[in-house]
């Protein structure tokens, strides 16, 4: 009999497994249907020896000291600030849109924030109430830059026009009037020094934790006696799609190793106006690895495949709320993570959510003694 069965060995499941094992001294079996730990953050050395991310580029960034402190028990870090260029009108320009972007595309020489602000302000369209992902961008930079940078990319990525998506999606990408060309401005921008998988190995190395891979919850649940369950897979799947399927967006990754030192100038290049893929990422920028070869990944959005992205729009949130109500009524089961709570969360947010759930467990779930 395990004290806890945890479904999913990504950030949500692994953070909780470690806390329960070390702080409650209880036994944990963590399972995953994939052949590896670390969930979507899984990285590995490919056949050429290049450290790459199996599920697309994962850049760690957070404003939370507590989350960094927590993860620092399991890894050292290397500083890394992500930069992204977008191929627009045949040029490679910074995204988020900043003063450099505007100067390059319009052949201008704006020198100050005020000048850039005035330029963007003259193009911005007033929007009474900002509701959609189109409103967010059009109200800040106007329709032309919206069409160039956001409309095509978003339609590819989500299979929906930005006007059909919640404002939270394109709000992830700010607009700047300075020349800061970093993708993120968080206080912590760091990568696990030896990769994510090594960090997860350390997290799960506690003697109270057992790991079982290639194991789908539906196939093994009746064979594994346990007292409580933490579920980090898709919440609709847990309830056998009782109210219908929650929409998730998927991706197909094409990984290519090239016999050359370097492929592109920055970690990621976005293709918002053309191509079937949304972006190409080159891992050596991100990992800092020195190697004679390099590995890049093309991301092709797809309606079918593994669920990667919850799709933020009102009707999906309404369906999720029905599943959430079911989840709340389900005793002895905790739902945590991006898929189980249907939230477009970054890694640090999932760690924060898992640590908050652990605090709730400590407050509400009495310690039992194992037989
Ligand atoms: P997951 O990592 O998805 O883990 C859930 C695990 O549960 C999976 O391994 C799955 O196999 C397993 N599972 C599900 N159902 C079952 C079942 N029935 N039985 C057994 N196992 C099951 N975040 C950032 O902060 N920075 C980034 O740069 C970034 N880039 C991203 C790029 C892409 C392409 C994607 C898709 C996501 C990115 N993210 C990024 C988000 C990040 O991947 C997530 O926030 C994080 O991995 C979520 O962790 P999780 O544990 O909730 O889910
Ligand atoms: N986006 C866009 N053009 C870009 C970059 C982003 O239209 O060049 C939109 C797109 O809808 C994307 C969202 O902004 O899904 C969020 O971008 P982010 O880079 O955060 O996406 P993620 O890394 O989560 O895939």
Structural domain that includes position 154: 84-172
Same domain, 221 and 327: yes
Mutational test site, ligand 2, from 58, 170, 300, max ligand atoms within 8 Å of CB: 170
CA of 47 to the centre of ligand 1 (A): 24
**Any domain includes 316:** yes
Same domain, yes or no: 315 and 226? yes
Tens digits of per-residue pLDDT, 49-96? 999 999 999 999 999 999 999 999 999 999 999 999 999 999 999 999
Query: Which has the minimum average pLDDT: 134-148, 278-292, 307-321, 355-369?
Result: 355-369
% of residues, the chain, pLDDT over 90: 99
Give, using CA atoms, the residue closest to atom 3 of ligand 2.
150
Residues 324 and 226 in one domain: yes
Classify strands 28-31 and 2-7 as parallel, antiparallel or unpaired: parallel
CATH number for 332: 3.40.50.720
Residue 368: its pLDDT value, please? 78
Nearest-CA residue for atom 11 of ligand 2:
154
Name which residue sits closest to atom 14 of ligand 2, judged by CA: 170
**Integer angstrom CA distances of residue 187 from 11, 17, 200, 211:** 21, 27, 23, 34
Ligand with smallest separation from the Cα of 31: 1
Q: Which ligand is nearest to the Cα of residue 141, counting in written order?
A: 2
Question: In this structure, are 97 and 143 located in the same domain?
Answer: yes
- Let me know: does 276 contact 300? Beta carbons within 8 Å: yes
ipTM summary value: 0.99
How would you label 282-308 residue by residue, b for 16+ Cβ within 10 Å and e otherwise?
bbbbbbebebeebbbbbbebeeeeebb
Share of the chain above pLDDT 70, in %: 99
- Ligand approaching nearest to the C-alpha of 279: 2
Q: Are residues 164 and 215 in the same domain?
A: no
Q: Check whether residue 140 and residue 221 sit in a common domain.
A: no
| 320 touches 327 (CB < 8 A) | no
Shared domain check, 210 and 168: no
Answer with the one of 155, 172, 189 that is the final residue of a domain. 172
d(CA 346, CA 139): 25
Residue of the nearest CA to atom 15 in ligand 1?
233
> Is the pLDDT confidence value at 371 over 60?
no
Asked if residue 163 belongs to a domain, the reply is: yes
Task: State phi, psi for 198 to the nearest 5 degrees.
Answer: -60, -40
**DSSP assignment of 59-124:** --EES-HHHHHHHTTT--EEE---BEEEEETTEEEEES--HHHHHHHHT----SHHHHHHHHHHH-
| Average of per-residue pLDDT across 2-28 | 98
Query: Is 13 domain-assigned?
Result: yes
11, 33, 40: which to mutate for ligand 1, most atoms within 8 A of CB? 40
Cα 363 to ligand 2 centroid, rounded to whole Å: 38
Tell me if 272 CB under 6 Å of ligand 2.
yes
Q: 338 CA distance to ligand 1 centroid (A)?
A: 7
- Same domain for 237 and 321, yes or no, is yes
Q: Does residue 186 lie within any of the structural domains?
A: no
Distance 144 CA to ligand 1 centre (A): 34
Is position 184 within any domain?
A: no
Q: What do you get for the CA distance between the two ends of the chain, in Å?
A: 8
- Average pLDDT score over residue span 183-207: 98
- Of 113, 148, 172, the residue that ends a domain is 172
Q: Residues 308-339: pLDDT tens digits?
A: 999 999 999 999 999 999 999 999 999 999 99
Q: 66 lies in a domain?
A: no
Cβ–ligand 2 distance for 270 under 6 Å, the answer: yes
Rounded to the nearest whole angstrom, what is the distance from the C-alpha of residue 219 to the centroid of ligand 2? 36
Nearest CA to ligand 1 atom 27: 58
| Residue 221, domain member (yes or no) | yes
Q: Are 12 and 131 in the same domain?
A: no
The answer to whether residue 161 is domain-embedded is yes
In the chain, the number of structural domains is 2
The whole-chain average pLDDT of the chain stands at 97
Asked whether residue 230 falls in the same domain as residue 126, the answer is no
The closest ligand to the CA of 308 turns out to be: 1
Buried b (16+ CB within 10 A) or exposed e, 197-207: bbbbbbbbebe
- pLDDT for position 246: 98
Q: Give yes or no: residues 210 and 352 share one domain.
A: yes
Q: 155 with 238, same domain?
A: no
């Amino acid at each position: 009999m395990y004290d806890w069965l945890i479904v999913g060995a990504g950030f949500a499941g692994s953070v909780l497994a470690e806390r329960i094992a070390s702080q409650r001294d209880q036994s944990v079996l963590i399972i995953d249907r994939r052949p590896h730990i670390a969930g979507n953050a899984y990285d590995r050395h490919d056949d050429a020896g290049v450290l790459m991310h199996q599920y697309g580029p994962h850049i760690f960034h957070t404003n939370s000291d507590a989350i960094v402190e927590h993860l620092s028990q399991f890894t050292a870090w290397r500083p890394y600030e992500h930069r992204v260029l977008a191929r627009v009108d045949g040029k490679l320009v910074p995204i988020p849109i900043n003063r450099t972007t505007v100067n390059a595309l319009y052949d201008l020489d704006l020198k100050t924030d005020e000048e850039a602000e005035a330029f963007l302000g003259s193009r911005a369209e007033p929007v009474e109430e900002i509701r959609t992902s189109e409103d967010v961008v059009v109200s800040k930079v106007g329709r032309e830059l919206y069409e160039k940078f956001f409309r095509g990319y978003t339609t590819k990525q989500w299979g929906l026009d930005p006007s059909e998506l919640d404002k939270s999606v394109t709000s992830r990408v700010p607009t700047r009037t300075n020349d800061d060309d970093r993708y993120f401005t968080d206080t912590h921008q760091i990568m696990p020094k030896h990769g994510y998988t090594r960090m997860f190995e350390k997290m799960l190395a506690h003697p109270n934790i057992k790991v079982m891979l290639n194991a789908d919850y539906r196939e093994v649940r009746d064979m594994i006696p346990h007292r409580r369950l933490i579920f980090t897979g898709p919440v609709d799947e847990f309830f056998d799609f009782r109210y219908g399927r929650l929409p998730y967006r998927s991706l197909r990754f094409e990984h290519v190793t090239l016999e050359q030192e370097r492929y592109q100038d920055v970690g990621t290049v976005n293709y918002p106006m053309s191509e079937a893929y949304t972006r190409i990422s080159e891992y050596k920028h991100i990992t800092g690895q020195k190697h004679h070869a390099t590995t890049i990944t093309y991301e092709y959005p797809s309606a079918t495949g593994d669920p990667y992205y919850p799709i933020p729009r009102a009707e999906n949130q309404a369906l999720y709320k029905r599943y959430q109500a079911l989840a709340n009524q389900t005793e002895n089961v905790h739902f945590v993570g991006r898929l189980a709570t249907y939230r477009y969360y970054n890694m640090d947010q999932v760690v924060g959510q898992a640590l908050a759930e652990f605090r709730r467990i400590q407050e509400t779930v009495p310690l039992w003694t194992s037989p």
